[in-house]
Amino acid sequence: MATAEPQACRSGSVHDTRPRIAVERVSRSFQSSTGEVVALADVDLTIPDGQFCCLVGPSGCGKTTLLRILAGLARPSSGRAVVRHDDPRRLAHSVVFQDYSVFPWKTVRQNVELPIRARGVSKREAAAAGREWLRRVGLVGFEDSWPAQLSGGMRQRVAIARAFACDPEMLLMDEPLAALDAQMRLLLQEQLLALSQEEAKTVVFVTHSIEEAILLGDRIVVMGARPGRVIADIEIPFPRPRSPAQVRKEELFGELHEYIWSLVRGQVEDQLRLDKATS
Amino acid sequence: MSSPSHTGRRAAAASGGHDIELVPGRRELDPARANRLDKRWVTALAVLVPVLLVSFWQVAATARWIDVRFFPAPTQILADWRGLLDSGDYATHLGASAQRIALGYALGAAAGVLAGLLIGRARLVRKALEPTIVALYTVPKLAILPLLLLILGIGEASKLTLIAVTVFFIVLINTNGALEAVPTSHIEAGRSFGLDRIDMVRHIVLPAASPQIFVGLRIAAGMAVLALVGAEFVAAESGLGYLIWNSWNLGIPSYMYIGIVTISVLGVLANGLLRLAQRVCLPWDR
Ligand SMILES: Nc1ncnc2c1ncn2[C@@H]1O[C@H](COP(=O)(O)OP(=O)(O)OP(=O)(O)O)[C@@H](O)[C@H]1O
Ligand SMILES: [Mg+2]
């Protein structure tokens, strides 16, 4: 059912202990006129079922590339990635993209219902699930609007509702909040946190905001650039359910933030030096 | 500084003794009224310009400033039109042309969109056919009329085919271009939601491409008229093209003007119809 009962705390499947995602020595390179770019080099990553895993790292370190491989939209150049798919009637994953991918020719309602209907769910059930999810992201009253009539934040909420509503086994999100203003971003962070705590789903979440990663994630994977690789893997110890306000008050929050920033900062500085050397 | 004398924004800046005052204009004070006036003016002008031109023509013809053997007075043309109407010839010609263009256009447009979708969705087929399509598109379609007459005879089939072929290639090429321009993010979103091939076309590709497809449909409508008139000039016993061509033989120039004006009205109507269809089919595309 698309609108699963809210669960108080997140828990993985009891029956199956296989990880949701297993990435083994995955590399990906791109050929271009200026030479070869190694977007990913020998990445290993195991994500257990039900985990909210954040990917952070400097621009160009291969976060989107990794996500696209997990989504089946691109293939590794070498190595392999295994994504668990338990129920063939459900989608293995749905994706919220970096740029808006809400369809402008469909109303808000039609956008959210499309992937549900594509699974063969009846019209009535799809409509019910769509309504429920639009309510959860606060878009009641805009069901029949065209995306062009919405604000950027509202459009992104449509994309989020659409990804959740088709009830995939896993969510892949690529900077879903990046294009929003600061206030809207805080609001949607809270909503995303609440949603992810109600739905015990595996989430892979790419973000540039370290703060966002700490607030939302069970774990933060820090990536480095040139070549793209994993340079740190950090557990976030704050218990769930949690709220952004609560987390921000924790002493550990500041320390974590500083630590992860020092890692990313080193990467960014390396990159700037490299850019200067090559230009 | 003085306080604002009426509602609205007022700002002042000192720049060497000359303050710049920014206040609402007539449009800002009563936008509804301004729009109404605008609309009235635009409509009036749109009607006035052709009326003036025709009046000038009438005066020039009456005063014999122009040679009425080539430029008969509008009143004369109107009278001859009455005659054509009464004899039923006008209806025959108009009916024949309208039928040809409607059928030929519908056939060509439908086939063009369909073929464009099929070819556009299969990369290998597209690469294989592209040069051929471009080559065929480049051929002026009137050049194949003799061949069509040879194959299909002098009847309706040859004229319908000519119009359909003309429309087909324009729509096909525009549809192909439209498909290429569909943003990958939309295609990938569709793929990631597990849409099958048919749903992909129905829910993503076709709607995303349709604004551009409509552009092709509108261009094709103009070219269809061209093909129609060309075919009727040489290979028809009826139709507006025939009426124009034959008026030369008969030495009745006003029939030419009747034919030309009717054709241009047909063109305007077709364009309006397509615009309406676009607005109805693509309510999201504003
Ligand atoms: N289709 C492609 N063709 C060529 N190079 C590509 C392609 N996609 C990605 N790359 C290169 O691979 C590297 C990683 O790109 P990717 O989009 O995964 O980075 P990212 O971590 O998502 O960056 P950002 O945070 O800016 O979104 C970049 O150097 C990019 O130039
Ligand atoms: Mg990216």
Atom of ligand 1 nearest to the CA of A61: 21
Q: Express each pLDDT in B215-258 by its tens digit.
A: 999 999 999 999 999 999 988 889 999 999 998 888 888 999 99
The per-residue DSSP string of B174-198 comes to HHHHHHHTS-HHHHHHHHHTT--HH
At residue A276, the pLDDT reads 66
Pocket probe mutation, ligand 1, options A63, A209, A271, max atoms within 8 Å of Cβ: A63
Rg (CA), chain A: 19
B279 to chain A, any CB pair closer than 8 A? The answer is no
At residue B70, the pLDDT reads 86
Taking CA atoms, B90 is separated from A152, B25, B217, in Å, by 57, 53, 28
CA of A67 to the centre of ligand 2 (A): 9
- Determine whether the shortest distance from the Cβ of A34 to ligand 1 is under 6 A: no
Interface pTM (ipTM) of the complex? 0.77
Do residue B194 and residue A91 have CB atoms under 8 angstroms apart? Answer: yes
Query: Which residue, among A103, A110, A155, A172, would best test binding to B if mutated, counting the most B CBs under 10 Å from its CB?
Result: A103
Q: Residue A105 is nearest to which of B185, B194, B207, comparing CB atoms?
A: B207
- For residues A162 and B189, is the Cβ–Cβ distance under 8 A? no
Query: Which residue, among B182, B185, B193, would best test binding to A if mutated, counting the most A CBs under 10 Å from its CB?
Result: B193
The nearest alpha carbon in chain A to B196 belongs to A118
CA of B76 to the centre of ligand 2 (A): 72
Number of other CB atoms surrounding residue A263 within 10 Å = 18
Average pLDDT over residues B184-195: 88
Letter for the amino acid at A73?
A: L
CA of A39 to the centre of ligand 2 (A): 11
Q: Express each pLDDT in B79-109 by its tens digit.
A: 999 998 999 889 999 999 999 999 999 999 9
CA B267 from centroid of its chain's CA atoms: 6
Q: Residue B284 is nearest to which of A94, A100, A148, comparing CB atoms?
A: A148
* A223/chain B closest Cα distance in angstroms: 24
CA of A188 to the centre of ligand 1 (A): 26
Q: Residue B203 is nearest to which of A99, A114, A146, comparing CB atoms?
A: A114
Token pair 């609001």 is found at A187
- Determine whether the shortest distance from the Cβ of A60 to ligand 1 is under 6 A: yes
CA of A64 to the centre of ligand 1 (A): 7
Nearest CA to ligand 1 atom 19: A60
Q: Is the dihedral of CA A68, A70, A71, A76 positive or negative?
A: positive
Q: Which has more pLDDT, B19 or B83?
A: B83
- Backbone φ and ψ for B133, nearest 5 degrees, come out as -60, -45
B203 to chain A, any CB pair closer than 8 A? The answer is yes
Token pair 């040489």 is found at B234
Q: Express each pLDDT in B143-187 by its tens digit.
A: 888 899 899 888 889 999 999 999 999 999 999 999 988 888 899
CA distance A28 to A80: 11
- pTM (two decimals): 0.76
- For residues A100 and A156, is the Cβ–Cβ distance under 8 A? yes
Series of mean pLDDT values for 10-residue runs along chain A (279 residues): 43 66 90 86 92 92 92 90 86 81 92 90 91 89 91 87 89 87 84 85 92 93 89 90 87 91 84 68
Do residue B193 and residue A72 have CB atoms under 8 angstroms apart? Answer: no
B208 to chain A, any CB pair closer than 8 A? The answer is yes
* Burial (Cβ within 10 Å: 0-12, 13-18, ≥19) of residue B284: middle
Average pLDDT over residues B63-83: 90
CA distance B151 to B157: 10
CA distance A34 to B113: 39
Q: What percent of chain B has pLDDT over 70?
A: 94
* A115/chain B closest Cα distance in angstroms: 5
Give the pLDDT band of residue B8 (cuts 50, 70, 90).
very low
CA distance B113 to B178: 11
Between strands B20-22 and B11-13, the pairing is antiparallel
CA distance B250 to A275: 80
Nearest CA to ligand 1 atom 24: A59
A180 to chain B, any CB pair closer than 8 A? The answer is no
B70 to chain A, any CB pair closer than 8 A? The answer is no
- Determine whether the shortest distance from the Cβ of A37 to ligand 1 is under 6 A: yes
- For residues A222 and A57, is the Cβ–Cβ distance under 8 A? yes
- For residues A156 and A176, is the Cβ–Cβ distance under 8 A? yes
The nearest alpha carbon in chain A to B285 belongs to A105
Letter for the amino acid at A94?
A: S
Structural domains of chain A ordered from first start: 3-93+168-278 (3.40.50.300), 94-167 (no CATH)
Q: In what order do the strands lie in the sheet with A21-32?
A: A35-47, A21-32, A78-83
Do residue A100 and residue B185 have CB atoms under 8 angstroms apart? Answer: yes
Atom of ligand 1 nearest to the CA of A175: 27
At residue A14, the pLDDT reads 53
